[in-house]
Amino acid sequence: MGNLTLSDVSKTYGGTVNVLNDINLDITAGELIVFVGPSGCGKSTLLRMIAGLEKITGGDLAIDGQRMNDVPPAQRRIAMVFQSYALYPHMTVRENMAFALKLAKKSKEEIAEAVDEAARKLQLTDYLDRLPKALSGGQRQRVAIGRSIVRDPKIYLFDEPLSNLDAALRVATRIEIARLKEEMPDRTMIYVTHDQVEAMTLADRIVVLANKGIAQVGSPLELYEKPQNEMVATFIGSPAMNLLPGKITGTGAQTEVTLDAGGKTLSNVPTEASDMGKQVNIGVRPEHLEATDGEGLFTGHVDITEALGEVTLLYFETVGTDPALIAKLPGVHKDRRGQQVSMTAAPEHVHLFHEGQSLLYR
């Protein structure tokens, strides 16, 4: 088990600083949930409240149907892994992993079995007799995870566990975590990260936190394909979705939108007659803009190009847009710098937001 329910959970620091408001969330045992959101939006605070390290100032937290607000951390069967791994430097990997079980006065056999099993899951068997200083950063972080596995928690909480690692180790350790999750399909994991790729690849569901609340909960592809609001639309995906102001000038299954800067586009977001004339922001992801030789939707002067090898980013200015729009084109297009380009987008890739909310959801 390891079902988690947050009901109207709020946090106010020191009686005055309100950080989170009325968070409602149901997490099913075995899910891997990722919290993302801008720095300072309360990701760590929410995780620490679940762990019991921070007082819940409003609402209820339940684990498997039992109210947990006043249960001390050690009795919640939750393990938390932080960015800094804080291993005991004078103890071997085996001793580090065994430490909590020794304190709990478990038998030698029981400890050996738990440590060997955790080491196997984390590919640390060959390193059990080493000291932490003889390990890479990624291995150290796995030992830190191993220390919590031996206690067999129902719920694992990770707070940006990979952000101290360099890029290559981060990828390798991310894959280890994905494998670990597969080895423990019934254990719940909640993972905080600011890394989009970690969020998209690890999560069963992503929770986007913003403005003291939940902006959207959904599978990674739901958030990418059907963002509920401009916050999620611009937060998920890199570079961020382009937004341009316009007005609805034709309704129905295919909506016609006229850009304030001139030009028309179509969107597959269905609209009703009463939507006529509504001000909207039109959202198109950089990877969904296509260069055209004909009359494009957005025409502009390419200011900067960034060739990344597999793709090129074109920053171009059109009337009424600030900042510049970004297009991501496959291949190398450095020669486009200084040129006029014309771009279009297929209707299925044109998002519509009215007062910040997607017209897909209402």
Ligand X SMILES: Nc1ncnc2c1ncn2[C@@H]1O[C@H](COP(=O)(O)OP(=O)(O)O)[C@@H](O)[C@H]1O
Residues at the site binding ligand X, with contacts judged by CB under 6 A: 13-14, 17, 19, 37, 39-45
How far apart are CB 87 and ligand X at their closest, in Å? 23
Tell me whether residue 42 or residue 296 sits nearer to Mg ion (CB atom).
Answer: 42
Distance, in Å, from the CA atom of 171 to the CA atom of 164, rounded to the nearest integer, reads: 12
Which of ligand X, Mg ion, none lies near 309, with the C-beta cut-off 5 to 8 A by kind?
A: none
Which two three-digit tokens encode residue 281?
A: 């922001």
How far apart are CB 14 and ligand X at their closest, in Å? 6
Q: Find all residues with CB under 8 Å of 292, minimum gap 6, and list them.
A: 342, 343, 344
Tell me whether residue 19 or residue 313 sits nearer to ligand X (CB atom).
Answer: 19
Tell me whether residue 44 or residue 271 sits nearer to Mg ion (CB atom).
Answer: 44
Q: Find all residues with CB under 8 Å of 213, minimum gap 6, and list them.
A: 20, 21, 22, 23
Which of 105, 187, 100, 90 minimizes the C-alpha distance to 148? 100
How far apart are CB 84 and Mg ion at their closest, in Å? 12
Distance, in Å, from the CA atom of 128 to the CA atom of 139, rounded to the nearest integer, reads: 11
How far apart are CB 226 and ligand X at their closest, in Å? 24
- Over the window 16 to 55, marking each residue x when it contacts Mg ion by CB under 5 A and - when it does not, the resulting string is ----------------------------x-----------
How far apart are CB 332 and ligand X at their closest, in Å? 37
Q: Find all residues with CB under 8 Å of 34, minimum gap 6, and list them.
A: 190, 191, 192, 193, 198, 199, 202, 203, 205, 206, 207
CB atoms closer than 10 angstroms to residue 361: 10
Tell me whether residue 20 or residue 97 sits nearer to ligand X (CB atom).
Answer: 20
Which of Mg ion, ligand X, none lies near 13, with the C-beta cut-off 5 to 8 A by kind?
A: ligand X
Q: Report whether the peptide linkage leading into residue 227 is cis, meaning its omega lies within 30 degrees of zero.
A: no
Which of ligand X, Mg ion, none lies near 41, with the C-beta cut-off 5 to 8 A by kind?
A: ligand X
How far apart are CB 319 and ligand X at their closest, in Å? 37
Distance, in Å, from the CA atom of 327 to the CA atom of 307, rounded to the nearest integer, reads: 12
Distance, in Å, from the CA atom of 35 to the CA atom of 22, rounded to the nearest integer, reads: 16
Tell me whether residue 47 or residue 119 sits nearer to Mg ion (CB atom).
Answer: 47
Which of ligand X, Mg ion, none lies near 274, with the C-beta cut-off 5 to 8 A by kind?
A: none
Residues at the interface with Mg ion (CB under 5 A): 44
